[in-house]
C-alpha cells in the first residue's frame, strides 16, 4: 500500500518499508508517511525487489528475515540496479548477521525492537547525505584533480575509483568513507569522526559499523589490513589514508 503526502518538495523522498510482519510494516509506513514521506510496503523478498524497481525509493527499511528469500539476497539484488540507502532491520543479536547484511551493500542496520522515532531519525540522517548520482559540488572549485595514492586513483566529482586502471565498484557509503579519508590524508580519523563526516553528527548506533565498511573497502581495493597500503589502522585511535 502506497501512502501519499502533501508535504513540501524537500520532504518528497520515497521510502520502501519491507517486513514480513504486516502490522510492523504498516505502523512504520504510517508513521513515516505522516512525517511527510511517500511510502510503500512489501512483505516478501521477491515483492521487495519488484517494489524497489517500480517505486525507485530513496531509502529502504529492509527486514533481514523475509519469506521467499531473505533481506541479504534482497539487498544483493537491489544493489544491481539501485544505489538507494538501505537500512537493514534485524532481530538477530549476533554480529555475523549484521556483517553479512552490510557486505552486500546495506548502509546501516537497526536492531529490533526499535522506536519509530529512531527509524525516522535514521531516515532523516541518510537523506541529508548527497545521492551517489549527484557529484559533490565544492564552492569556487570547477574541477578537482584526482587523488592518487600509488595505484589507487580517486576521482571525487565523478565518484570513480580505480586501482592500477581497473574500476572498483564501491557503494555510496564506501565511497563517502574513502572520500573523507583521502580528502585529509594526514589526519587520523576516529570512528566517531568518520560517522560525523559520512553519516551525520546526530547519527546514533553502533560505531563499529565503520569497521565493517572499512573492511569491505579494503577487500575491494585488494588492501591487506596487516600491511595496508591505502587505509591504515592506527591502533586505539582510528584510520588514516596510506601513501599507496
CA nearest to 108, candidates 125, 131, 130, 132: 125
Residue 142 lies in a domain: no
Write b or e for each residue in 188-210: b if 16 or more Cβ atoms lie within 10 A of its Cβ, otherwise e.
ebebeebbebbbbeebebeeebb
Q: What is the CATH classification number for the domain harbouring 28?
A: 3.40.50.2300
What 3-state class would DSSP assign to 16?
strand
Residues 115 and 60 in one domain: yes
Residues 107 and 158 in one domain: no
CA 28, CA 42: separation in Å to the nearest integer?
Answer: 12
Residues 79 and 170 in one domain: no
CA 1, CA 186: separation in Å to the nearest integer?
Answer: 50
Q: State which residues form the domain around 221.
A: 147-241
Q: The whole model's pTM is what?
A: 0.73
What is the chain's pLDDT, residue by residue, as a tens digit (244 residues)? 555 444 443 457 999 999 999 999 999 999 999 999 999 999 999 999 999 999 999 999 999 989 999 999 999 999 889 989 999 888 776 666 777 777 888 888 888 888 888 888 888 888 877 554 444 444 444 478 999 999 999 999 889 999 999 999 988 889 999 999 999 999 999 999 999 888 876 676 778 889 989 998 999 999 988 888 999 999 889 999 998 7
Residues 123 and 164 in one domain: no
Q: What is the CATH classification number for the domain harbouring 167?
A: 1.10.10.10
Residue 140 lies in a domain: no
The total number of structural domains that make up the chain: 2
Residues 123 and 151 in one domain: no
CA 156, CA 90: separation in Å to the nearest integer?
Answer: 33
Amino acid at each position: 500500500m502506497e501512502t501519499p503526502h502533501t508535504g513540501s518538495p524537500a520532504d518528497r523522498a520515497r521510502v520502501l518499508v519491507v517486513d514480513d510482519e504486516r502490522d510492523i510494516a504498516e505502523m512504520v509506513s504510517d508513521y513515516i508517511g505522516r512525517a511527510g514521506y511517500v511510502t510503500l510496503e512489501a512483505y516478501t523478498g521477491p515483492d521487495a525487489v519488484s517494489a524497489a524497481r517500480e517505486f525507485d525509493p530513496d531509502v529502504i527499511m529492509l527486514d533481514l528475515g523475509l519469506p521467499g528469500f531473505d533481506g541479504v539476497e534482497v539487498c544483493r539484488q537491489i544493489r544491481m540496479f539501485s544505489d538507494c540507502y538501505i537500512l537493514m532491520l534485524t532481530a538477530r543479536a549476533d554480529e555475523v548477521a549484521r556483517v553479512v547484511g552490510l557486505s552486500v551493500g546495506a548502509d546501516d542496520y537497526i536492531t529490533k525492537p526499535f522506536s519509530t522515532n529512531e527509524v525516522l531519525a535514521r531516515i532523516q540522517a541518510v537523506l541529508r547525505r548527497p545521492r551517489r548520482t549527484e557529484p559533490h559540488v565544492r564552492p569556487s572549485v570547477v574541477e578537482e584533480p584526482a587523488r592518487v595514492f600509488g595505484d589507487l586513483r580517486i576521482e571525487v566529482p565523478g565518484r570513480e575509483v580505480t586501482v592500477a586502471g581497473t574500476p572498483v565498484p564501491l557503494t555510496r557509503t564506501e565511497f563517502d568513507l574513502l572520500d573523507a579519508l583521502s580528502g585529509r590524508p594526514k589526519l587520523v580519523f576516529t570512528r566517531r569522526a568518520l560517522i560525523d563526516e559520512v553519516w551525520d553528527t546526530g547519527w546514533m548506533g553502533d560505531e563499529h559499523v565503520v569497521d565493517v565498511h572499512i573492511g569491505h573497502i579494503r577487500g575491494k581495493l585488494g588492501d591487506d589490513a596487516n600491511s595496508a597500503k591505502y587505509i591504515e589502522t592506527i591502533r586505539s585511535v582510528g584510520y588514516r589514508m596510506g601513501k599507496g
